[in-house]
Structure 1
Amino acid sequence: MSETHTTSAPIFPPGRYGRRRAARRNRPWLISALAVVLLAALGMVAFSQYRQYGDPLYDAKVITYTDITDAQILVEFQVTVPPGGSAVCALRARSRDGAEVAREEVRVTAAAGEEHPVVRHRLATSGRAFLGEVLRCRAGD
């Protein structure tokens, strides 16, 4: 008995196996464009986080807040800066219910060789403050 080889494509009965799909074309430019858009979006998110929370090289810690009255609060904080550098820190005071009663940016300049200056700053408030905080610090321009 001899063997027969079929070289033609198989023929499917019409309507039996659903419709056949045409071969899809590759679109490498689409993948590249999506990658560029994704990287741009991630960059924008990173930049907004940097602007909101500050530079980690300019770390700040609140030491204490005292002299609380209906019109002021004294915030004492420590900032980490490069030796002899400066920073701009955003301070805020909030009332007991969480409402913001004061906000101010303060320039902190370290003495030569000093990396952790301690600053005392008096915030004028629009109501009685409950706490004082440092929101962020960034490089002083």
Structure 2
Amino acid sequence: MTETHATITPGAPVFPAGRYGRRREPGRRRPMLPALLAVVLLATLGLLAAKLYRQYGDPRYDAQVITYTEITDSQVVVDFRVTVPAGGSATCVLRARASDGAEVGREEVTVTAQPGERRVDARHRLVTSARPFIGEVLRCRPAA
């Protein structure tokens, strides 16, 4: 014999009482927590991007190695070009590495452009602790 329920609308599913747990009440969902987490995530990513851009991505201070010469057991001469704002100065980090990749010399060098000029050609003798294989400019930033 089948059981008939007078309160169930036609077409609605019938579940045995107590078998599937408590049914949720239909109502308004609150997307507050996911929205708040999304805002916090976007703010964190924005701050991280701004920090990394200031540290590594300022295109106004661009450096290129032209050549490195006069390699001896204790030095390398690095010729490089730096693009700065007109008449500005930059502090650049120069590095020398040995053939095995080890850093054998590092120094900060400040270069200043002539008034109205945006490019500075510079030459610097970098003292090393062993024979260098290459001389390079790691980065340039505004002079302090």
Q: TM-score, normalised by structure 1?
A: 0.81
Post-superposition shift, 1:30? 4.4
Q: Could you say what secondary structure the match of 1:117 adopts?
A: strand
Q: 1:63 to 1:11 in 2, by over 3 A?
A: closer
Uncovered stretches (5+) of structure 2, i.e. residues with no partner? 1-5
Q: How many pairs does the alignment contain? A: 135
Partner in structure 2 of residue 12 of structure 1: 14
Partner in structure 2 of residue 120 of structure 1: 123
> How far apart in 2 are the matches of 1:97 and 1:7?
83
Q: Could you say what secondary structure the match of 2:139 adopts?
A: strand
> How far apart in 1 are the matches of 2:94 and 2:59?
17
Please provide the CA RMSD for this pair: 2.7
Q: Could you say what secondary structure the match of 1:13 adopts?
A: coil
Partner in structure 1 of residue 136 of structure 2: 133
Percent identity over paired residues = 51
Post-superposition shift, 1:65? 0.3
> How far apart in 2 are the matches of 1:72 and 1:49?
32
Task: Give matches, 1:1-141, under 5 Å.
Answer: 9=9, 10=12, 12-14=14-16, 18-19=20-21, 21-22=23-24, 23=26, 25-48=29-52, 50-51=54-55, 53-141=56-144
> How far apart in 1 are the matches of 2:72 and 2:53?
33
Q: Is the 8 A contact 1:55 1:139 kept in 2?
A: no
Post-superposition shift, 1:46? 4.1
